[in-house]
Amino acid sequence: MKFFPFRSDASHAFCSGVLQKLSDMDEHEWDALVSDDNFYNSYRWLRGLEHSLGATDVLSVHGSAGLVAACTLWEGDQSPGMFFLPDCMAGVPGPWQEGFLWLGGRRNTHNEIPCIQGRRRHQALAELGRCALEYAQQRGYAGFVMPYMPYQAAVEFAYAVGGVVVLHSAQASLEVPDTGLAGMMESWRAHDRNQTKSEIAAFRRMGSRVEWGVPDELDDSVAADLITQNRSRYGGMQDREWVQGILAGQRKSGVSYFGAAAVSKRDEDITALAIFYRFGATLHLRYFGANYSLDLNDYRYFVLCYYEPLNYAAANGLTKLRLSTSALRAKVNRGAKIEPQALVVKCADEQQICHSEAKRHNHRMLREYQDEFPGHLSWDWELVGSHQNPTN
């Protein structure tokens, strides 16, 4: 194990440094810092990315009792899209064409810092931020960013590191009733209940059925083909081999142990699939794929991604369904709440960020989501209007 230490924090309570690969860390020590909602920063998920895409450096902070904070590092994307900084920071002036260090898992759409709870948490986050900035400066980056953070987590991290919070996306989630879909439908308007019943009936009328299994039972080449068809349909750039490599990496890391696959079939032909991951009491939707050469108006997307998972989650004692960042209108129409996500940025040159512009941008996004999704926003949107940027 190669460990490159930075200087300890001023109180000498913590020691931080850089590891060249996640496999040098202890899985249980790492996951002890990871919440149920933060599955994409769990040890096996990140190890799956290492197997598929190669190892990345890891920042770690240790105290007298062991690991207190950590995160993996990467460089973002170099082409427009969800992980391209100029797109994430559109509307906020700054040096976004320069290179920035990215914190969190590669292509994660939910990021929180794995970190201890309690009174030393702020100090641990601050030390991780100091270590990240020193790492960035040594390698010529303009600073560091951590995207797709729940808003409260972003404010906390920015306060600890002296960074700026910039809203840039939102994610959908459902609280799972004990009675699954039936319990969810009880809270809906009659129109929405009838629409759901109609879609499920159409799915069955087309001769489609759902079978649940585990990802290890799927043929990676078939799953990758279906997932790639869906991604290509909506502008995704990764090809089938890339997706197949990701799935193969998950087998090697063992993260597929947490997986659950909902498969739509007609006779013995797979027409679509959705892959979920269980972590704690939360079920995370990650992949949807479909055979679009079959012109089936059978609502397989909604059945696999919303209706069936509610029953699966309830039957397995899970209390939350996380639905990621896409197709928010469809998710809201089926009972989801929309949660704000923000990026935390820390520049080496503090004068390069206009704090007032960031605040105005956040308030603009708040108004846009209030106008588009009235009555469907989570409670933490209220915090956006009341918060200043932490460095103000």
pLDDT at 389: 63
β-pairing, 164-175 vs 143-150, is unpaired
pLDDT at 1: 43
> In angstroms, how far is the first alpha carbon of the chain from the final one?
41
In the beta sheet, which residues pair with residue 269? 266
Contacts 24+ apart (CB under 8 A), 244-247: 244/220, 245/52, 245/53, 246/48, 246/49, 246/52, 246/53, 247/215, 247/220, 247/223
C-alpha pair distances (Å), 203 with each of 93, 200, 206, 373, 387 = 48, 5, 6, 28, 46
Place of tokens 């919070």: 165
pLDDT at 7: 52
pLDDT at 386: 84
Q: 177-318: which CATH number, 3.10.180.10, 3.20.20.30, 3.40.630.30, 3.90.550.10?
A: 3.40.630.30
Q: Which fold has domain 3-172+338-386?
A: Aminopeptidase (3.40.630)
Domain borders along the chain are: 3-172+338-386, 177-318
C-alpha pair distances (Å), 87 with each of 73, 76, 80, 232 = 20, 12, 7, 20
pLDDT of the chain, 392 residues: tens digit per residue: 454 565 555 555 788 899 888 999 999 999 999 999 999 999 999 999 999 999 999 999 999 889 999 999 999 998 899 999 999 999 899 999 999 999 999 999 999 999 999 999 999 999 999 999 999 999 999 999 999 999 999 999 999 999 999 999 999 999 999 999 999 999 899 999 999 999 999 999 999 999 999 988 999 999 999 999 999 988 888 899 999 999 999 999 999 999 999 999 999 899 999 999 999 999 999 999 999 998 888 999 999 999 999 999 999 999 999 999 999 999 999 999 999 999 999 999 866 787 889 999 999 999 999 999 999 999 999 999 887 666 54
Q: Count of CB atoms within 10 A of residue 4's CB?
A: 11
Helix (H, G, I), strand (E, B) or coil at 193: helix
> CB within 8 A of 388, min separation 6: which ones?
359
pLDDT at 351: 67
pLDDT at 236: 80
The reported pTM is 0.93
pLDDT at 349: 83
Q: Where are the alpha helices (DSSP H) in the chain?
A: 27-31, 43-53, 85-88, 121-138, 151-161, 180-186, 190-205, 220-233, 240-253, 300-302, 308-315, 328-332, 355-372, 381-386
pLDDT at 355: 86
Evaluate whether 3-172+338-386 and 177-318 have a shared fold: yes
pLDDT at 382: 94
